[in-house]
Amino acid sequence: MTEQEVKLNYVMTSCARFPMLLHSMKSSLLVSAHHLDCLFVISSDGETLRVEHVRVPQLLGIALRDDQQRLSLAAAHQLWEYRQVMSSSELVISPNHSTARDTIFYPCGSIMTGDLNTHDLAWGGEALFMVNTRFNCIAKAVYGKSFEHVWRPPFISELVAEDRCHLNGLAMKDGSPAYVSYFAVSDVQYGWREGSSFDGQIMRIEDNQTVLSGLCLPHSPRLHQGYLYFCESGTGRLWRCLESSLPATRADLELVAEFDGFTRGLRLFGEMAFVGLSRVRKAKDGSSRHTDMPLLEKKNELLSGVSVIDIRNGHEIARLVFSGDLNQIYDVELLFGSNNPLFIDVYSDQRTEYFML
């Protein structure tokens, strides 16, 4: 272990179906754990799960381009970019090291953004869009600048680093930002921390229309099969609504599933939803806020992990559970075409053994 590596104290357990599911999909699961500064790479041989850790300080959003060749990670003060090694001729491995992997991702650069508290990331064509939470806006990642402003909610009067509404989630449509989630309509610094936990909203970017309101700490809006899905984190629920029926009221929402955990992080594929679950944590500044969230009244112990749901009926297909220090998940993503990937960790000795040509 190098001096930069951190010993992680957690246990990962799963039902028998989880490794079978990943292997049959020929996929691996990527999970961000910002409080542990790690990207967790979970793969399967069909019977057991393998997990590896890639050190990424304060990791939040994960964005994998549709062609699976570029991966971006929202880390502290910067955005990391990885590229998939497409052929063995592109990679040189030192003689004292060998590997038998079906996919390798190599770190090829980063953009220094400063402390933007970047949350969701998403690729749209060749552009990388980010939820710039500190400046209450959607932005593009560009070399040579902290960010390039794209859009901000109409109630935000100026572009300032004050995290006024806690903009966090982004849904893409046809390669462009389409919907955002945020905790409150506020135009003062940290205004989202005041008031009810049910002040959350989802807004359509095209016309600045609020399409859903009265939501309890919403995250992870996603468009899939004509529906807008989102996590209502403070209730532990996954909802959906026909996009064609927006704007809508709570009565128009269809409950997909309810969980014993803070729902945050959502990847939809076919008829399945991979949903990240976290335990409720205390505010970093030590204050008490959003104590009215219904999740706090749950009698069952809250879980940290990933649940796979059949979106047709809400039944759970498989579950992965973390215990110990791994209790906060922000994002989940699927890497297709790989049951045994390798991500080169820039903070480990791996970086001295692999070379891209």
pTM (whole model) above 0.75: yes
Q: What is the per-residue pLDDT for 92?
A: 57
Q: How far apart are CA 180 and CA 155, in angstroms?
A: 14
- Tell me the two tokens of residue 46: 């069909």
Q: What is the per-residue pLDDT for 77?
A: 94
The residues pairing with 96 across neighbouring beta strands, listed in sequence order, are: none
Q: Strands 341-343 and 103-112: what pairing?
A: parallel
Q: What is the per-residue pLDDT for 332?
A: 98
CATH architecture of the region 10-356: 6 Propeller (2.120)
What residues does each domain of the chain span? 10-356
- Nearest to 144, CA basis, from 108, 192, 119, 112: 112
Mean pLDDT by 10 residues, the chain (357 residues): 56 96 97 95 96 95 95 96 76 60 89 97 96 98 96 98 98 98 98 96 98 98 98 98 97 97 98 97 75 92 96 98 95 96 82 63
